[in-house]
Structure 1
Amino acid sequence: MISFLRKLRHSFISQNRFSKYLLYALGEIFLVVIGILIALQINNWNEDQKKGTYEQKILTAIKTDLKSSREEVLKAIDDDGRWRDCIHKILRYLDQRKPYEKQLDQCFGSYYWSSTVQFSTSSYEELKNRGVELISNPELRSKLTDMYDFKLDVLRSEIEVWDSQLLSSTIYPIHTDLFRKYYPESWSLYEDEFASPIDYEKLMDNEKFKNVLAEIISLRNYSIAANELLEKDIQKLIVDIEKELEELKK
């Protein structure tokens, strides 16, 4: 084809048929431009395909991370509720001046514990490095950034910092004066700790200790409420991602 066009061009020039040669040249330029545009269109289509494939892949990974984070949040709610129940039990025994029972030692050893949620964020961090604009749905993109860059950070910064400050400045100094920690033979790692009161009779009249317990209850209530709201938000986001994945597959 190219050889034929070249011969045709030489024929026009040799015959001094400039007008036809000009038309031929314009046609040749037109064909080249069309070829370039087609190549660009194919390249853009391929890039869109790659972006669409990556978007599905990263959204699927983020959904998996969110499911893992949701399980962590549910466990935190359960743990905080259990430790809060321990505090209520201790206060009930002290306020009603019930006699000491050995079963209280598990509560005495873990009443000040608080949950720590390990959020799975690796997939979202990968997306941020690649560019969050790769998520084509602007509403979903906004929900993702709100979840990972605001809600999870707020929960970590507020609850965990408050717990840490209260523990180091108030709880632990009192706790070490009132209790002696021990571990039963059947104890294993990650189980609640145990502690026995040094003087249970005096403990019943220790209003400062009771006030600290009330403060911890308040903090546990806040933590549980915050995590319950977060769990609902995570579940909603999972549903939104699943809907978007269905749309992208069409």
Structure 2
Amino acid sequence: MNPMLKWIGGATAAAVFVFGGATLASSYLSTDNKPVEKVTLEEAIPVDPAKVTGETVQGAPGQGQAAMQQANAQADDQFTVKRILPIEGPIKYGEWFWDDKDVPDGPIVMTVDLQARVISVFKGGYEIGTAAVLLGTDEYPTPLGTFPILYKMKDNVSEKYGNSPMPYSMFLTKDGVALHGADVEKGFASHGCVGLPTPFAAKIFAVAGKGDKVIITDGEMMGLGDQIL
């Protein structure tokens, strides 16, 4: 696979299987697949570059315009793809990869693609994590769009789905669509949530905060140098 081009949801497409019908987001079976670590619609919010950089532009009119252009350029750079994790072959259900060693500080943004069935986590434009995910069904689809994380719950239990544990939940919509830990296995689906291998969900939970963006697409691709946001 050309390392310069990727599904927007991850470094490689996950192996795609036909789901045998909708199942509860919490109704996952246990799996023998071990996480692999290389030893390592509601509210779509546009990005304000000035807020991303945290800079206040002051000075004379000409200086202010130049400073604003510089701030915009810096903001764009934070959301430009600078690295894609070198993963060979499709990511299997239950597998995940994480490498944030020596990655400089930067904003967190995530992409999920429905066709690839893969999530990518970027920090300042560097892909630091990726995994195969579970998604919704035709009856309970995973929504498309750009969503900020509204709030987080580490030990979430879903009363809606029989008090099923959904650890490391990061909610994207007011009606309960979230990223959360799950047993990611072939043949299972959610009620619209994005199910993540639980150890991988814990990694994201530790670095992502309220307001960080999750972009959910359907069959989009991007390459090095492309804008994520």
Q: Shorter chain as normaliser: what TM range?
A: under 0.3
Would you tell me which structure has more helix in proportion to its own residues?
A: 1
TM-score by length of 2: 0.24
Q: TM-score, normalised by structure 1?
A: 0.22
**Larger CA Rg, structure 1 vs 2:** 1
Instruction: Answer 1 or 2: which has greater strand percent.
Output: 2
